[in-house]
């Protein structure tokens, strides 16, 4: 439990009971930025103490929004409170004493319902400004910030956060994460959940929307053998909607037992892509030359970002000669592995055979199938990733090879049965 005391002049603070909800109230105040609750670090820097709490968006120090706020604040001309909408805080209680001119604010630290609800960038900009020494402090005026403190609004925090973050709309997945909608997915992909950017501005390198696209591409409940997941490649927002369906109509939670495998499989496909391509063609026997393909040469920027194989704990290096693989090439292969998935007795999805052993055995054929298709599509991965014919070709190839495996297993079982009879 954290209690903060903020000095405010009586003329700059007002408390208004909510007209619709008894027990709820809002305290409005204009506070000198120097009087915000803070602590001093060992190196003499000031750190503001209020945490983000219900705010779904972590501030980005180098964002355009942060730059704009900082420039307005660091003029020290006294106009900041007129140009900035301030900070909204959810608190357990707030009481102002006219005699001491102190606002007592109780904000539990171990409960994410309390803290900054909106205005995280403003809070960060103020902290940064307080750490800088003005060039001529005697000629500058104090800056004030608007505080709006909500008491008793716990039930409505998500809706309030959604409505308040309108100057630059909060991404839907940030709000979904705040509501706990991804908790089952975090558990399913643990320990790699710590590598995911679950909310915008999080420092992690892998966005949750891409993970959801990967799961969608390999979801046999939503995408049957003749209904290929083109949408998984081209529309991450729709994939998010499908995953969040309240009744789980599209079966994403059924993927829990294999979710981590699907992500690892996607990384494995991309990681081994060019080594498989360089092997002899299964039909012509011709060796591939990955470094000469237009699919590699055509990408000039962003190649390093395509060589992060998070689920394999590996990272490629273009300077060392590693080559990127576009999503449009890898997705038809990943989607084809729906043929190896089935629904178990508990309705959860499971593998018919080991997908990694299957890819090691048939990866050259699958990679060459996609690359041959790319040759007839202007060597454009974006076109390949949207072409249902390519998806169908890969799916039927995997289905055919799976049938051979299943027939071999059946013959082995029959042979054992006959041997037992003898």
Closest residue by Cα to residue 79 from 6, 142, 9: 142
Which of 65-74, 162-171, 231-240, 382-391 is least confident? Answer: 162-171
Q: Quote the mean pLDDT of the chain.
A: 86
State yes or no: pLDDT of 108 exceeds 90. no
The predicted structure's pLDDT at residue 70 = 75
What would the 3-class secondary structure string for the chain be?
A: CEEEEEECCHHHEEEEECCCCCCCEEEEEEEEHHHCCEEECCCCCEEECCCCCCCCCCCCCCCHHHHHHHHHHCCCCCCHHHHCCCEEEEECEEEEECCCCEEEEEECCCCCCCEEEECHHHHHHHHHHHCCCCCCHHHCCCCEEEEEEEECCHHHHHHHHHHHCCCCCCCHHHHHHHCCCCHHHHHHHCCHHHHEECCCCCCCCEEHHHHHHHHHHCCCCCCCCCCCCHHHHHCHHHHHHHHCCCCCCCCCHHHCCCHHHHHHHHHHHHHHHHHHHCCCCCCCCCCCCHHHCHHHHCCCCCCHHHHEEHHHCEECCHHHCCCCCCHHHHHHHHHHHHHHEEECCCCCEEECCCHHHHHHHHHHHHHHHHHHHHHCCCCCHHHHCCCHHHHHHHHHHHHHHHHHHHHHHHHHHHHHHHHHHC
The string of pLDDT tens digits covering residues 250-277 is: 999 999 999 999 999 999 999 999 999 9
Query: Residue 339 — very low, low, confident or very high, per pLDDT cuts 50/70/90?
Result: very high
Q: Give me the long-range contacts of 403-409 (CB less than 8 A, separation at least 24).
A: 405/353, 405/358, 406/352
Those residues with Cβ within 8 angstroms of residue 399's Cβ, 6 or more apart along the chain or in another chain:
225, 339
The predicted structure's pLDDT at residue 203 = 78
C-alpha distances in Å from residue 269, one per residue of 153, 157, 171, 247, 337: 48, 42, 30, 32, 11
Which of 53-62, 116-125, 310-319 is least confident? Answer: 53-62
State yes or no: pLDDT of 177 exceeds 60. yes
Arithmetic mean of pLDDT, 26-44: 81
Which of 197-201, 228-232, 262-266, 394-398 is least confident? Answer: 197-201
pLDDT > 70 in the chain, percent: 85
State yes or no: pLDDT of 29 exceeds 80. yes
Rounded to whole angstroms, the Cα distance separating 40 from 46 reads: 5
Query: Residue 195 — very low, low, confident or very high, per pLDDT cuts 50/70/90?
Result: very high
Arithmetic mean of pLDDT, 188-210: 87
The dihedral through the CA atoms of 243, 248, 249, 253 has a sign that is positive
Q: Which residue has the higher pLDDT, 116 or 310?
A: 310
What are the structure tokens assigned to 336, written together? 């084809």
* Pairing of β 87-91 and β 115-118: antiparallel
State yes or no: pLDDT of 326 exceeds 60. yes
Closest residue by Cα to residue 229 from 255, 206, 207: 255
Arithmetic mean of pLDDT, 181-200: 91
End-to-end C-alpha distance for the chain, whole angstroms: 77
The predicted structure's pLDDT at residue 67 = 72
Q: Please, which residues bridge with residue 27 across strands? A: 15, 149
State yes or no: pLDDT of 418 exceeds 70. no
Rounded to whole angstroms, the Cα distance separating 59 from 245 reads: 29
State yes or no: pLDDT of 420 exceeds 70. no
The predicted structure's pLDDT at residue 121 = 82
């Amino acid at each position: 439990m954290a209690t903060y005391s903020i000095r405010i002049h009586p003329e700059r603070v007002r408390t208004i009971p909510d007209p619709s909800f008894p027990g709820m109230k809002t305290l409005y105040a204009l506070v000198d930025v120097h009087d915000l609750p803070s602590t001093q670090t060992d190196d003499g820097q000031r750190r503001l103490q209020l945490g983000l709490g219900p705010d779904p968006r972590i501030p980005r120090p180098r964002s355009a929004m942060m730059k704009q706020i900082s420039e307005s604040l660091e003029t020290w001309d006294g106009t900041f409170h007129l140009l900035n909408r301030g900070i909204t805080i959810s608190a357990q209680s707030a009481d102002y004493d006219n005699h001491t001119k102190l606002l007592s604010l109780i904000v539990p630290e171990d409960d994410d319902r309390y803290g900054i609800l909106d205005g995280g960038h403003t809070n960060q900009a103020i902290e940064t400004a307080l750490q800088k020494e003005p060039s001529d402090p005697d000629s500058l005026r104090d800056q004030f910030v608007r505080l709006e403190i909500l008491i008793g609004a716990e039930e409505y925090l998500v809706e309030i956060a959604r409505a308040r973050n309108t100057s630059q709309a909060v991404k839907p997945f940030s709000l979904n994460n705040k509501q706990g909608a991804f908790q089952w997915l975090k558990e399913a992909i643990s320990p790699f959940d710590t590598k995911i950017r679950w909310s915008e501005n999080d420092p992690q390198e892998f966005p949750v929307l891409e993970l959801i696209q990967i799961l969608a591409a390999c979801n046999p409940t939503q995408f049957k053998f003749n209904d290929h997941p083109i949408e998984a490649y081209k529309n991450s927002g729709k994939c998010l909607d499908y995953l969040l369906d309240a009744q789980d109509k599209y079966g994403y939670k059924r993927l829990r037992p294999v979710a981590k495998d699907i992500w690892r499989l996607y990384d494995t496909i991309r990681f081994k892509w060019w080594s498989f391509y360089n092997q002899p063609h299964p039909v012509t026997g011709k060796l591939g030359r990955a470094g000469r393909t237009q699919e590699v040469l055509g990408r000039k920027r962003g190649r390093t970002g395509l060589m992060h194989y998070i689920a394999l704990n590996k990272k490629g290096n273009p300077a060392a000669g590693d080559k990127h693989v576009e999503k449009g090439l890898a997705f038809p292969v990943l989607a084809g592995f729906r043929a190896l998935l089935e629904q178990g007795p508990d309705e959860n999805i499971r593998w018919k055979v080991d997908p990694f052993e299957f890819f090691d055995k048939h990866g050259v054929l699958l990679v060459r199938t996609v690359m041959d298709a790319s040759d007839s599509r202007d060597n454009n991965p974006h076109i390949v990733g949207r072409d249902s014919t390519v998806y169908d070709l890969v799916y039927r190839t995997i289905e055919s090879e799976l049938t051979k495996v299943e027939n071999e297993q059946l013959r082995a079982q029959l042979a054992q049965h006959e041997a037992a009879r003898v």
